[in-house]
Structure 1
Amino acid sequence: MANYDFMTCWHLAAPMEEVYKAIGQPLHWPHWWPGLQGVEALDSDGEQSHGQVTGRVYRYYWQSRLGYPLCFDIRVTRLYVPWLIVGQASGDVEGWGCWQLTEAAGITRVRYRWRVRTTQPWMNLAAPLARPLFVWSHNAMMHNGALGLSRWLQARLLDGSRC
């Protein structure tokens, strides 16, 4: 398996509670996040349910910038409103992700850490040569997410290079 450790930062001129509300409602992400084809809320039995709570499972269907699909589930393992969401991933990627929000002077900093390994055999075989492309694709998708969220919130997106 190929391992990846990504850190993404977004800075939005919006109140932290508004940013958290948008990030904390993944069923709405396809409305603002290009490349995200769909999200389903599943409970522990796999039944559809609504709202985000600890233990809830969401299934994400992504179309990468390189054209390959990814499908994975995220189980919410920690949730501290309005500043932290942590989830465990399984499916085409396995690992964990953590959304962390802070606010200063009306600017919300969003940090997303994504530590995963790929499980698809073709991705693992291609990783030694294609790793830079996979990293580029991830970064492009995250950039699209920042742009989409800023439009959704009608908030200015600032330089997010400083984590």
Structure 2
Amino acid sequence: MICFNDYFNRKNLYCFNNCWIICAPACLVWTGLTHLDQWPDWFHGLEKIQPSAPIAFLQRGQTIELSIRGHLPYSLKFEIIVNDFIEYSFVSFTVTGDLNGEGFCQLLPSEKGSTIHFTWNVSPARLWMKMGASIARTVFIKNHDQIVEHSINGFKQWISEKSIEVALPGAVGLGRF
């Protein structure tokens, strides 16, 4: 059985490597990425986020339960365990559950604000996803890409709103009497 699982995990490995430029300072981008209570504001498809401890931000050793749903008729439930954490620049994690693997996120200052590099290497754990990958792989990838695209657009909008709040302290709520 172990050989069977190893074979299908290798065959079904999905490697995503994304890079985004966010027009905001790295400290603000880092806050949005690492403060878990902010994720529902911008993370498209996020159904559940539950940290293992009542801590509102990512840190080394933390476990977070997630449930995410894209355009396909199922949700993926998994845990991420934060392995490495360098404030304002890097986080790596292990993924277990409906997806197994690893990922990392690196944040770098850039001329236009900040650059996010995100790598996600996972294999599905559900048997039907493993067995159907030869037929549905492109559909799974498209679903992932849509979730990411909507989420990064939501993040950019969230950052834009936060940037205005930072630039104009106290201006939030003006015009509301």
Larger RCO, structures 1/2 (Cα 8 Å, 6+ apart): 1
User: Which interval holds the TM-score relative to the shorter structure?
Assistant: 0.7 to 0.9
For the 8 Å contact 1:24–1:85, the answer to whether it is kept is no
CA RMSD, Structure 1 to Structure 2 (Å): 1.2
Cα offset, 1:104, TM superposition: 1.6
Aligned position for 1:45: none
Match of 1:49 in 2: 54
1:97 aligned partner: 103
Q: Contact 2:63/2:82 (CA < 8 Å) preserved in 1?
A: yes
For residues 67 and 30 of structure 1, what CA distance do their matches in structure 2 show? 20
Q: Which has the higher strand share?
A: 1
Determine whether 1:88 maps to 2:94: yes
Q: Which structure shows the higher helix fraction?
A: 2
Q: Distance in 2 between matches of 1:93 and 1:138?
A: 12
Match of 1:40 among 27, 50, 65: 50
Moved over 3 A (4+): none
Unaligned runs of 5+ in 2: 1-8, 162-177
Structure-2 separation of matches of 1:85 and 1:114: 12
Cα deviation, residue 99, structure 1: 0.6
Unaligned runs of 5+ in 1: 43-47, 156-163
Q: Which of the pair has more CA radius of gyration? A: 2
Matched residue, 1:9: 19
| TM-score, length basis structure 1 | 0.87
Residue 118, structure 1, aligned to residue 124, structure 2: yes
Which residue of structure 1 lines up, in the alignment, with residue 68 of structure 2? 62
Q: Percent identity?
A: 24
Aligned to 1:154, the other structure's residue is in SS state: helix
